[in-house]
Chains A and B, each alone.
Chain A
Amino acid sequence: MREIEKNMKPKELKAYRTQLFRDAEQWKTPDRIAHYGNIVTWKIFDAGYTIDEAMTNFDVMKDTVQKFLEKYPIDVLIDIGIRNQFNVTEAFGMGKNGYYYYDKEVVGINDHAYCPVDRLMEYIEDKNKYAWEVALPEKIPDFYDKPMEVWKNTWNEYWNYIMFILKMNKVTGAFGLANGAPNNPMKGTINFGIEEAESNLLGIKNLSIAARRNFDQLKEFCDAWHEKETKPIIAKIYESEDGPDMKYCFDASLIMLSQNILNPRQFDELYWCYLEPLLKAYEEKGKCPRIFMEGKIGQYADHFADFKKGSLCFHLENDDPWEIREALPNVCILGGLTTAMLSNSTPDECVAYTKKLIDELGSEGGFILSEDKMLSYRNDCKAENLKAVCEFVSNYELKK
């Protein structure tokens, strides 16, 4: 870390880091390139623990995050140790009926589906009602037999979890870590009907089938989702003050995955027609969302070509950053580091590649460094490689 940043107090450092992100998004040359840490459970191994030791023990998780931030001068961390709520689901005795699972080496998620395609409209009519009266009793066979003591324990663990979130905000605040994006609504990202169908309601397999066999039903659901969920967000954006919210590095966080299983017509009719008005609202208000482009987005690059510089930031996974820069010279790129390189190369090779990324993509703004995948498994990265990259990027000043 540069001396100037070492001498800053946490709040000052946080504001400075936020400015680095905002400068890059606005295509102004920042003092240095910001590093958005796409690091999830890998940091548990790096701190000397296994997944099962950390997942349900808040003290271990806090120690994990502190050790990570002491070792790596990163500017934003995608997960500050609060992503998985196993204490709550375990208190409820969810066991094998839970969608998430963990062992010593991995946190995983099973492809799941809790809503058949012919009940999607019932779900969107009242999501909580559907979850409470249909999804939970179907998911948990003894749902109606849980003793009151189990419900009380579940509540207590839920409360402890909320307190842990607040605690971790303080812990990371002491390191001057910047805030990624405002929560919306509480779960962190803005979601679309098609993404909810893919990730929870239908699952990947059923969505693929439904997009071909039940297109009209899916369209009706996505229309209803847009009316109930997305339009109120768009209205709030238009009501908000112009310009970026400087409490955050981005004005929103979106995740896109479904484009990978939709054909162009399906993408236009089930996704883009709802996404475009949201992105236009951010553009008109001078704001910039981060969109995590899981899989690839290059095949739909033309859809984003007319947006103003400063209104979009793509967090890339499998797309080549140089190809995206050529196709979309208006879009800020977040990414560049690959788990393949971080796990297989030497520190010198990683630093040389990082320098090339910065010099070719970021010398005039429009680039923020990050990892392509959420670092999760033990072998996703060598510690000495991440250390070398962090030291380089936190010291490499750009010429203005």
Chain B
Amino acid sequence: MADEIKVEAAEVAEEAVEEVVEEKKTDWPYASYPDGFNKLLNKVMPFWARPAKKMMGSLLIKVLVDG
């Protein structure tokens, strides 16, 4: 019985975490690719660097994901 409650509690907790993650994702204005990502780059990249946005953006993602 105790084990069943534990399992049920774990499942509820897992669902709650998933909901929170999902909620955060939809709340964050830059969560989508490429639209959200490009919006973020426009905020952080200086104006003069923007022509190279596509190449530099891809490399920045690579540095963060592989680093």
Contact = CB atoms under 8 A, between A and B. Distances in A.
Interface of A: 85-86, 88-89, 92, 94, 98-100, 114, 126, 128-129, 131-133, 135-137, 139, 144-145, 148, 151-152, 154-155, 158-159, 162, 186-187, 200
Nearest to A159: B49
Interface residues of B, number: 29
Interface centre among B28, B55, B60, B65 (most CB of A within 10 A): B65
Given A88-B60, A128-B37, A200-B66, 14 more contacts: A88-B64, A88-B67, A94-B64, A94-B67, A126-B33, A131-B64, A132-B33, A132-B61, A136-B65, A137-B25, A139-B65, A144-B31, A152-B43, A154-B44
B62 to A, nearest CB: 7
B44 A152 contact: yes
Contacts of A139: 65
Contact of B43 (A131, A151, A200): A151
A155 B60 contact: yes
B25 A155 contact: no
A94 B66 CA distance: 11
Interface of B: 21, 24-25, 27-28, 31-34, 36-37, 40, 43-45, 49, 55-67
Q: Which label, helix, strand, loop or mixed, suits the secondary structure of the A interface?
A: helix
Contacts of A88: 60, 63-64, 67
Nearest to A90: B67
Given A144-B24, A155-B45, A133 B32 contact: yes
Contact of B67 (A85, A132, A145, A155): A85
Contact of B60 (A94, A99, A158, A200): A158
Contacts of A133: 31-33
Contacts of B65: 114, 131, 135-136, 139, 200
Interface centre among B27, B37, B62, B64 (most CB of A within 10 A): B64
B31 to A, nearest CB: 7
